[in-house]
Structure 1
């Protein structure tokens, strides 16, 4: 298995390695129509996803801190092996704060059609420091791909290379760029039970036919359908979020919906006071039922993001 830091990358169309202002490698994926995605090796984090017209689809705060080890406020941070503060580790775990490497020859990915896709394979293994905090040895492979139609796909494969089982929670913490939070609605969560993090994780059932926003929202929707839609009326576009967990589909269920609203935004040093209006987090996640892997077992979780015009 060969890895490197990104100075050399397998010659593949639509893939380029550049450096950010701190000298950290970033991978830029492009398709033939001109859509693009940019991924930082710091955190394995997707920082940008643009349409063929150059329109940015992911939100990044104007006050985002670009200096490691702080995770960047925006894009798609990877939350692993913990989501939120539900364990002994730092908020959302350590994967989003670590340096990943580009993997040249990863194990083959079943059911992945590479035709017309530009993609990169990243790898994270625990450091000695990580093992002191979370004493479980793992290999976390992440493939980010951009298809000919501009769809963005993220496939995570987490393998237990430990001698004993371990459990983890996980999320693709996706910050969507929106016109105005009061003009947006989320469909695909109707009638679902959810845990409300603003009410001590009390369980409720969604009553509306869509979720709209008039105040802070921080919810974990349980047993969600495979497709959730974020409708942005002003921009006449809809984000489609599809998730998949293999081989145990039944544990890849949660959808986290978060917007900090005005009061909380003012307490966040890396978010502008009014920027909550232009962002909405809708995460494919495995939060409520952590995933347990026996020695040698591997879990795969997939997120497909697409954009469709809407009225």
Structure 2
């Protein structure tokens, strides 16, 4: 006799034999996380519909970062500092965290995985600070996906460091012209297509008629992405991440991509 119960956490091999973790929720939703980059590459709802965009050109060949999904940008987002664009965490092999400290949650979710990245000699050559980065990826009972990051300064001399960080999420959408983003009205933003010049959002929602690449400052905790063609709404809730990136463009073929 075989049990029909879904295994909430499965460790297996993905593309090119890379290790990944598959999270499954009893109603049918799922998520996949590669240890390379602690990179979420798939998030499906209980109908089996893919909610994330991963490029068909994604190589899955370390140390090259995976294109699409949810890259972890640390200790630098964009190319404003001295490091490679978006930092090095997305290029590193993370480990399963066997002894994570307690999380401030009372959730009884079984579909989660704890990952950890520690300073390597390679990191120290380009960023002279010691750290521990812990990430918990949780698939909730309703199919909600939650990423929780905790970064600890482990410098032996106690010297502080600064960093920038982002979950650089790529959502799978239909025709980008049918997508609108709500919750960023009247917010100031830096326009990456105009040398980071600062503007204030004027529209009642963000729509995409041409390429968009903006960093919105001091954004609300809740932002919504509405895909009218697929009759689907993504609701983003965040804590401790004040800014939001909004970018999108027409993509070849039938699939569009939205980046938030």
Q: How does the TM-score come out when normalised to structure 2?
A: 0.94
Q: Give structure 1 regions of 4+ aligned residues with deviation exceeding 6 angstroms.
A: none
- Write the deviation string for residues 157-182 of structure 1: whole angstroms up to 9, x where unpaired: 00111121100000000000001101
Q: Which residue of 2 aligns with 1:101?
A: 95
Unmatched 5+ residue regions in structure 1?
1-11, 246-251, 263-272, 283-311
Q: Which residue of 1 aligns with 2:227?
A: 232
1:45 aligns with 2:20: no
Q: Which residue of 2 aligns with 1:305?
A: none
Shift of 1:13: 5.2
Q: Which residue of 2 aligns with 1:274?
A: 252
- Write the deviation string for residues 134-160 of structure 1: whole angstroms up to 9, x where unpaired: 000000000000011000000000011
Q: Does the C-alpha gap of structure 1 residues 149 and 115 become closer, same or farther in structure 2, counting only changes over 3 Å?
A: same
Q: Is the 8 A contact 1:39 1:45 kept in 2?
A: yes
* CA distance in 1: counterparts of 2:69 and 2:36, whole angstroms: 12
Shift of 1:276: 9.2
TM-align CA RMSD: 1.5
Choose from 197, 219, 222 the match for 2:217.
222
1:181 aligns with 2:181: no
Choose from 110, 132, 139 the match for 2:132.
139
* CA distance in 2: counterparts of 1:195 and 1:54, whole angstroms: 36
Choose from 152, 161, 164 the match for 1:166.
161
What is the count of residue pairs matched by the alignment? 253
Q: How does the TM-score come out when normalised to structure 1?
A: 0.79
* CA distance in 1: counterparts of 2:69 and 2:106, whole angstroms: 25
Q: Which has the higher contact order (CA 8 A, sep 6+)?
A: 1
* CA distance in 2: counterparts of 1:120 and 1:114, whole angstroms: 14
SS at match of 1:167: coil
